[in-house]
Amino acid sequence: MRVYEYSKLSGIPTKKLLDALAKGGFAVASHMSVLTAKELTFLNELFKQSKGPSVLPNTPVDVQAEKITTPVTPSSTKKAQMPQAAPEIPFVVRSLVLSDAAEQLKQPVAMLIITLLRWGIVATKNQLLDEAVVARLAENFGVQTVKHAGKEHAVTKGIVVENGTYQERLPVVVVVGHVDHGKTTLLDYIRKTRVASREKGGITQHLGAYEATTPHGSLVFIDTPGHEAFARMRARGIGLADVAVLVVAGDDGVMPQTIEAIKHIKLMNLPVVVAINKIDKAEKTRLEAIKRDLSQHGLVPEEWAGDTVIVPISAKMGTGIDQLLEMIILQAQLLELKADTAGRAKGYILESSLEKGRGPVATVLAQHGTISVGDFFVCGDSTGRVSSLIDSHGARVTSIGASHPVRVAGFSELAQAGDYFEVVDKDSYLKSRAAGVSRESVPAASLVKENAINLVVKADNHSSREALVEAIAKLSKKYDKPFAVISATIGDVNESDINLAQASGSRIVCLHCKISPFVVQAARQHHVTIESFDIIYKLLERLEEIADSYKVKQVIRTKTGEAEVRKVFDIKGQGIIAGCYVKDGRFVKDGIIIAWRGKVKLGEGKIKSLQRDRKIVKEVTAGYECAFLVEGIDQWAEGDRAECYIQQ
């Protein structure tokens, strides 16, 4: 019997069972762990029933859990001992923004950034650090630590709320994995909609957050793109989630973006459930091979004495989805997720874009508080007042709580994905708006490079622009003539883009953008090239073609044969034909002929016709006679020498 099965039979929460087992000195890894006879006996005696026999496998009885009056702590002998009083420790380990961690550790921000770089972690002062990294930093600087208890305050991805009104919140689940492994199809089945069929080329290119109701409870799913160009977008999705679902295709296995996702999951210390998809296409031996590959990257299946839950599924057929959802809910229950429902909303931007009639909008995932129409807010370098809210089902709402993704309109300017969003009072809003954050604009002319392929990039949202610019920079390293992005903006192509492209000698490339007939006409008048794409890898393939066309071509000629002119024929309507004897090598059709008279070069040209015995042939080898007509040479004479070359 597994821990979660005991929980279902007894009615005791799995978290409470795991805590009791840990205090009793039993090394039980997770809710998926199989209980031994000793552990079952321990639980049955600890949680004595008022009626009925002890809980045994396959015995569905209702158990009333009694209050534990004598706490116990783990020990090597598995005997109950009284806990020792812990000394006061000032630093509470929790997820923190780097600048806040520096302040609490009493260290310069630069020192933390340098320390993290030495560990192979790239972070800025606004970067969110998970508990494990914060604990390691504290240890490095000799600061004693204690983990937060979660009772006096709520901690959610770096947002701390003291003395709030806490209620259970929806778990946020991020779905990650390699491109085309079935992530969106899985969400499609769960949500009973047709999202996958609307994705261009069958791949996700945006970060979408969707609320879904399941038989086990409601969840918020974050779908992430699997294409390699969207690495930063995937990292953001993982950074905001409570539980990760790693999708691996059974007919494909562990791939580069699978490994990248595992690294991000481990860095953020997220609980993970692995879904091996497309089992309808994979043999059983293939599933075992995938488990071995996952083990090599630190995800050891629980049936192999590890702590990773692996569920075989078919997102297309719906096989195993119910068990997967149950495992996700169980993982979330162990986290005891809570949010402050009374305070002002605090959260992060998932995505931002420009919408016709609404201006700059953004998808916000509030982790505490409530967002309402009319609220003032600050967000990164932007401020605003909420003018409208649209939930993940496309319905307009007047207010929405924590963990519910919502599309917010009312931004003064386009927010950046990953920006911190906070509802504030009117005075704070006016102060932030008045202060502003001046952004230094770089003149486009200064970005134009002479020995480069200049581009004006357009995308529909911030994440697409970010991924595209990074992918172009990576692509540039492969070519002698690199790409230079002189402008990368969000929204449809406009007249200003045409003027900029003309002035800078650039071509315009668009991802998910519309081009009006007026803009097309303006581009033709100004001789500006515009190319639009719906799939990012198609756009990158086109840029590779353009870069290849600029490659310096080297022409190599190889001599294949030599012949002596023995007779000259002047054929009316055709030209001067040289009758030759091939002395060495071979003469080939489409070869290049260089004619010599002694040491004087008569000229050169391509063979138009090659004959032997009055028959057109492809080649003539040494020891045979032939006749040929050469473009541009009509001054042949007996005794002239002809050399044949092939050109590459």
* pLDDT(219) > 80: yes
User: Worst-scoring range by mean pLDDT, 106-110, 264-268, 360-364, 585-589?
Assistant: 264-268
Residue 440 lies in a domain: no
Residues 452 and 508 in one domain: yes
Residues 358 and 396 in one domain: yes
Residues 602 and 587 in one domain: yes
- Alpha-carbon distance of 405 to 351, in angstroms, equals 11
CA 315 to chain centre: 20
Domain boundary (484, 517, 549) is at 549
Amino acid 453: pLDDT: 87
Secondary structure, 3-state, 436-501: CCCCCCCCHHHHCCCCCEEEEEEECEHHHHHHHHHHHHHHHCCCCCCEEEEEEEECCCCHHHHHHH
Task: Pick the closest to residue 233 from 396, 421, 462 (CA basis).
Answer: 462
- Alpha-carbon distance of 635 to 642, in angstroms, equals 12
Q: Mean pLDDT across the chain, nearest whole number?
A: 77
Residue 414 lies in a domain: yes
Domain boundary (336, 355, 373) is at 336
Residues 607 and 530 in one domain: no
Q: How confident is the model at residue 449 (pLDDT cuts 50, 70, 90)?
A: low
Q: How confident is the model at residue 150 (pLDDT cuts 50, 70, 90)?
A: very low
Amino acid 375: pLDDT: 93
| 346 C-beta neighbours (distance < 10 Å), count | 22
* pLDDT(378) > 80: yes
Residues 49 and 185 in one domain: no
**pLDDT, average across residues 452-480:** 84
Q: Do 467 and 457 contact (CB within 8 A), yes or no?
A: no
Amino acid 448: pLDDT: 60
Residue 218 lies in a domain: yes
Residues 280 and 406 in one domain: no
Task: Pick the closest to residue 207 from 237, 238, 177, 176 (CA basis).
Answer: 237
Q: Which of 110-114, 317-321, 437-441 has the highest mean pLDDT?
A: 317-321
* pLDDT(73) > 90: no
Residues 223 and 332 in one domain: yes
**pLDDT, average across residues 76-104:** 56
Q: Do 185 and 196 contact (CB within 8 A), yes or no?
A: yes
Tokens read off for 544: 């590779």
- Alpha-carbon distance of 358 to 628, in angstroms, equals 74
> 625: Cβ–Cβ under 8 A, 6 or more apart, which residues?
566, 579, 580, 581, 582, 612
The number of distinct structural domains making up the chain is 6
* pLDDT(348) > 80: yes
Q: Give 52-66 pLDDT, tens digit per residue.
A: 344 544 443 333 333
Residues 174 and 320 in one domain: yes
Please give the backbone phi and psi of residue 498, each rounded to the nearest 5 degrees, phi first: -65, -45
Q: How confident is the model at residue 361 (pLDDT cuts 50, 70, 90)?
A: confident
Per-residue DSSP letters for 548-604? HHTSPPPP-EEEEEEEEEEEEEEETTTEEEEEEEEEEEEEETT-EEEEEETTEEEEE
Task: Pick the closest to residue 366 from 379, 382, 354 (CA basis).
Answer: 379
Task: Pick the closest to residue 36 from 69, 62, 15, 6 (CA basis).
Answer: 6
Q: How confident is the model at residue 591 (pLDDT cuts 50, 70, 90)?
A: very high
Amino acid 623: pLDDT: 92
- Provide the domain limits for residue 22: 1-85
Residue 157 lies in a domain: no
**pLDDT, average across residues 205-212:** 60
Percent with pLDDT over 90 in the chain:
14
Which position has the higher pLDDT, 353 or 126? 353
Residue 153 lies in a domain: no
**pLDDT, average across residues 3-31:** 81
Q: How confident is the model at residue 76 (pLDDT cuts 50, 70, 90)?
A: very low
Q: Do 493 and 513 contact (CB within 8 A), yes or no?
A: yes
* pLDDT(561) > 90: yes
Q: Give 321-344 pLDDT, tens digit per residue.
A: 888 888 888 888 888 788 877 788
Which position has the higher pLDDT, 164 or 219? 219
* pLDDT(395) > 60: yes
- Alpha-carbon distance of 524 to 176, in angstroms, equals 43
Residues 188 and 306 in one domain: yes
Residues 221 and 279 in one domain: yes
* pLDDT(159) > 70: no
* pLDDT(624) > 90: yes
Q: Do 291 and 299 contact (CB within 8 A), yes or no?
A: no
Q: Do 645 and 594 contact (CB within 8 A), yes or no?
A: yes
- Alpha-carbon distance of 10 to 16, in angstroms, equals 12
Q: How confident is the model at residue 251 (pLDDT cuts 50, 70, 90)?
A: confident
* pLDDT(152) > 80: no
Residue type, 492: D
* pLDDT(588) > 90: yes
Residue type, 483: F
Q: Do 508 and 495 contact (CB within 8 A), yes or no?
A: no
Amino acid 263: pLDDT: 82
Q: What CATH number is attached to the domain comprising 583?
A: 2.40.30.10
Residue 161 lies in a domain: no
- For the chain, give me the number of helices (H) and strands (E)? 18, 35
Percent with pLDDT over 70 in the chain:
81
- Alpha-carbon distance of 67 to 40, in angstroms, equals 18
Q: How confident is the model at residue 162 (pLDDT cuts 50, 70, 90)?
A: low
Q: How confident is the model at residue 196 (pLDDT cuts 50, 70, 90)?
A: very low
**pLDDT, average across residues 373-400:** 87
Residue 583 lies in a domain: yes
> 530: Cβ–Cβ under 8 A, 6 or more apart, which residues?
493, 507, 508, 510, 515, 519, 520, 523
Amino acid 385: pLDDT: 93
Work out whether the CA dihedral 596, 597, 598, 600 comes out positive or negative.
negative
Residues 298 and 190 in one domain: yes
Q: How confident is the model at residue 478 (pLDDT cuts 50, 70, 90)?
A: confident
Q: Do 154 and 339 contact (CB within 8 A), yes or no?
A: yes
**pLDDT, average across residues 72-101:** 50
Please give the backbone phi and psi of residue 21, each rounded to the nearest 5 degrees, phi first: -65, -40
CA dihedral angle for residue 222, residue 227, residue 233, residue 237, rounded to 10 degrees: 30
Domain boundary (303, 336, 369) is at 336
- Alpha-carbon distance of 425 to 411, in angstroms, equals 16
Q: Which of 10-14, 43-47, 608-612 has the highest mean pLDDT?
A: 608-612
* pLDDT(503) > 80: no
Q: Give 506-551 pLDDT, tens digit per residue.
A: 899 998 888 888 888 888 888 888 998 888 888 888 998 888 888 7
> 637: Cβ–Cβ under 8 A, 6 or more apart, which residues?
565, 568, 597
Residue 5 lies in a domain: yes
Residues 522 and 565 in one domain: no
Task: Pick the closest to residue 644 from 604, 617, 601 (CA basis).
Answer: 604
